[in-house]
Amino acid sequence: MRSDLLRSSLLACLLLVPTIGVAAKPPHEVEAATSIVYTDAQAARAAERVKAEFLHAWRGYRRHAWGHDALKPLSNTAHDWYGQSLLMTPVDALDTLILMGLNEEARDARELIATQLSFDRDIDVKHFEIVIRLLGGLLSGYQLTGDQRLLDLAKDLGTRLLPAFDSPTGLPYVYVNLRTGKARGNESNPAEAGTLLLEYGTLSKLTGNPVFYQEAKRALTETYKRRSKIGLVGERFDVTTGQWTQTRSHVGARIDSYYEYLWKCWTLFGDEDCRAMWQDSIAAANRYYPEEVDGALWVGHVDMHTGKRLASRYGALHAFWPGLLALSGDIAQARRLQESSYAMWKQHGLEPEAYDYRKREVTSPGYPLRPEIIESAWYLHRLTGDAQYRAMGEQMLDDFVRYTRTDSGFATLKNVVTKEKADDMESFVLAETLKYFYLLFAPPQRWTRQRSC
């Protein structure tokens, strides 16, 4: 579970700060780049194009769904997750508005959030989703604007979410009521338990209250403690007992961002425990997940206890892995895996949710407009200076616009083969997908000037 589970706007701040301990060489020291030529002028034009496409979707949201969680881009109607709006799209997308220099739109979104958003609601919300979209969005919005109202909202939300951690194991329950604090939902996974510390940790840093960091770190640590003897985690566990209920292991849905946060918690907070957990975990991942097929490198599914290969399954969520490898210093493996991700994309002009890389067949054909492959292209370009990643990005942008654009925004695809659309546009399309396209093409000076992390 990543993209619609991940990534909060908070990550914009993390991604814009220098990383700690990255082993990657600067561009002039990296192995020879490809012969592809992609000029700064081309990149500048592409950045402006992305900005225009973002504005197209933002204006569609503004026209048809203002004050609601999301736009339905085929029917031009609004959608609220829990029957009442928590302003998912404006909160999640605020930092993208700021990053792109859309000051008037950012000001309007900020005023809407600051004056209309309330968490005093008798609704059960999914803890993980609310943390990464709303808590993260409020925190990054505050860091980029200094608007105390956003931090106050973040503190209120974080406090209301804390009862999710009141389980016998310290692993968070899946749902929590924003008004009563009653928590429920026993079946969870490493991604939902382990993808919390950046947001909660930042909230602790900004408020001076350590409880947020402590609870989220405990959840991450308790997940790590349940790894197998060979160092892998499974796909599902019971929050109350801590026992695994699904022992399949991989870097896709329900596990993915667990790995990501181990590295990034070390990066952002300098937490040596996170660094040690990362080093142990990445060593096991590199031993058991990779598979060579016809000269290409992939990462597949294995049993967490034995390492036995279970499936040659890859997909849109797995495509974050090259970026994480690149950021943590493994440029060579990252390059090869990005090639595989892009080959999967090119087969039908968009990436599917799941793909059998041995059979070269789509096994789950949906495309909810995920950002991971674009994020990985940005990391690799930023760390190597190789023009091929911008060229790759422009081709993906062409495909993205060609097959998903509507009169008011961008629509999820039910099927990447037939290109049939669905009436859905998640907040992460504005918060992440178009943000990473923009970062890939915009000159570094443009986005480093925007940060206040």
Q: Which residues are the active-site residues?
A: 129, 256, 353, 372
Q: What phi and psi values does residue 236 have, to the nearest 5 degrees?
A: -145, 150
> Is-contact 396 49, C-beta < 8 A?
no
> Is-contact 160 148, C-beta < 8 A?
no
Please name the residue ranges forming H helices in 187-271: 190-194, 197-207, 211-225, 256-269
Cα separation, 217 vs 10, in Å, equals 17
Count Cβ atoms within 10 A of the Cβ of residue 166 and give its class: 0-12 exposed, 13-18 middle, 19 or more buried: middle
209's enclosing H/E stretch is: none
Closest alpha carbon to 376 in 7, 4, 5, 1: 7
- Tokens for 108, please give them: 């309007």
Tell me how crowded residue 21 is: count the other CB atoms within 10 A of its CB: 11
- CA 244 from centroid of its chain's CA atoms: 25
Cα separation, 192 vs 200, in Å, equals 13
- Tokens for 43, please give them: 């990149």
For 6, residues 6+ apart whose C-beta sits below 8 A from its C-beta are: 132, 191, 195, 256, 257, 260, 428
Cα separation, 254 vs 181, in Å, equals 24
